[in-house]
Amino acid sequence: MSDLLTIEDISVSYGNIKALRNVSMLVAKGDIVCLIGANGAGKSTLLKAIVGLESLESGRILYKDEVIAADRASHAHSLPTNIIVSKGIALVPEGRRVFADMTVEENLDMGAFLNKDDAAVARKKEEMFDFFPILGERRRQKTRSLSGGEQQMMAVARALMSNPEILLLDEPGLGLAPLVIQDIFSKLAIINKEDKVTIFLVEQNARMALRSSNEGYVMETGRIVLHDKASELLKNQKVKSAYLGE
Ligand SMILES: Nc1ncnc2c1ncn2[C@@H]1O[C@H](COP(=O)(O)OP(=O)(O)OP(=O)(O)O)[C@@H](O)[C@H]1O
Ligand SMILES: [Mg+2]
């Protein structure tokens, strides 16, 4: 399988806080890849760097062999977020970031803001309402009235409105009950398998993330400390004691 997303030796700092230190990762087309790590490890920073929301101190990020982000010293230049999204990368941000005063339908429209083809947007919306029936039922309801799980589904549907080839998810299970998390992960598996959307997710819920993924990476204080098949990481003694509570 070919690599869709290539992260090469990137570092990101906030003032004198080094959030990412020489991180390299590969996401192959068609895979589900997860990144696990504790609070403050640098997971969100990595996702933000991929979509151009944090600048690189060193290294570069390639999407289908094209440089989308690079450090200032290199001659390649970083693309703005809207261009990165238009190339097929969508982010479901941490904490969902829904527009609470907008209806479900209006939120989905926001996810398709780059698409000027109204008929295609309307079709895509109906597809989302078929796939997430609860959102169809609530389409004219204000988003703030949805449950946490429903809001997360909506955040995923909103990201899918841009027809991404790769979906980045920042802790989709955060604050949700185990059954709701399971429901979300089973939807992600369908999106991956049937719609051929590559998935890169970061999670603190290591067990659920690793069980759902092909490949896994473990991050500690800004560094990748382990990388293997997800099934191997589930058996790894260090992962078991540090992340699986075994
Ligand atoms: N805007 C910012 N300004 C300064 N420091 C920041 C900023 N954002 C993140 N950091 C710091 O960078 C480090 C990595 O943060 P990041 O949010 O990427 O971690 P995370 O792995 O996503 O954590 P969590 O699991 O809690 O979401 C932390 O030490 C954090 O305090
Ligand atoms: Mg985070």
How far does residue 43's CA lie from ligand 2's centre (Å)? 5
Q: Name which residue sits closest to atom 17 of ligand 1, judged by CA.
A: 44
Amino acid at 59: G
Mean pLDDT for the stretch of residues 133-138: 94
Mean pLDDT for the stretch of residues 128-140: 94
CA dist 129 and 105 (Å) reads: 9
**Burial of residue 197, with CB atoms counted within 10 A of its CB: 0-12 exposed, 13-18 middle, 19 or more buried:** buried
Q: Please determine, for residue 68, whether its predicted confidence score (pLDDT) is greater than 90.
A: yes
Look at residues 196, 194, 190, 195 and name the one whose alpha carbon lies nearest to residue 212: 190
> Rounded to an integer, what is the distance from CA 145 to the centroid of its chain?
24
Q: Name which residue sits closest to atom 29 of ligand 1, judged by CA.
A: 40
How far does residue 11's CA lie from ligand 1's centre (Å)? 13
Q: What is the pTM of this model?
A: 0.94
Give the per-residue pLDDT at 10.
97
Give the per-residue pLDDT at 167.
98
H helix and E strand count, the chain: 10, 10
Residues lining ligand 1, judged by CB closer than 6 Å? 14, 17, 19, 37, 39-45, 94, 204
* pLDDT tens by residue, 177-230: 889 999 999 999 999 999 999 999 999 889 999 999 999 999 999 999 999 999
Tokens 């700092």 belong to which residue? 13
pLDDT-derived band at 242, boundaries 50, 70, 90: very high
Q: Name which residue sits closest to atom 26 of ligand 1, judged by CA.
A: 39
**Burial of residue 157, with CB atoms counted within 10 A of its CB: 0-12 exposed, 13-18 middle, 19 or more buried:** buried
* pLDDT tens by residue, 88-131: 999 999 887 888 899 999 999 998 888 888 999 999 999 999 99
Q: What is the mean pLDDT of the chain?
A: 93
Strand partners, 114: none
Closest ligand relative to 54 C-alpha: 1
Give the per-residue pLDDT at 98.
82
Closest ligand relative to 45 C-alpha: 1
Give the per-residue pLDDT at 131.
94
Alpha helices in 11-147 (DSSP H): 43-50, 81-86, 104-111, 118-131, 133-137
Mean pLDDT for the stretch of residues 40-55: 96
The token duo for 16 is 């004198």
CA dist 139 and 10 (Å) reads: 41
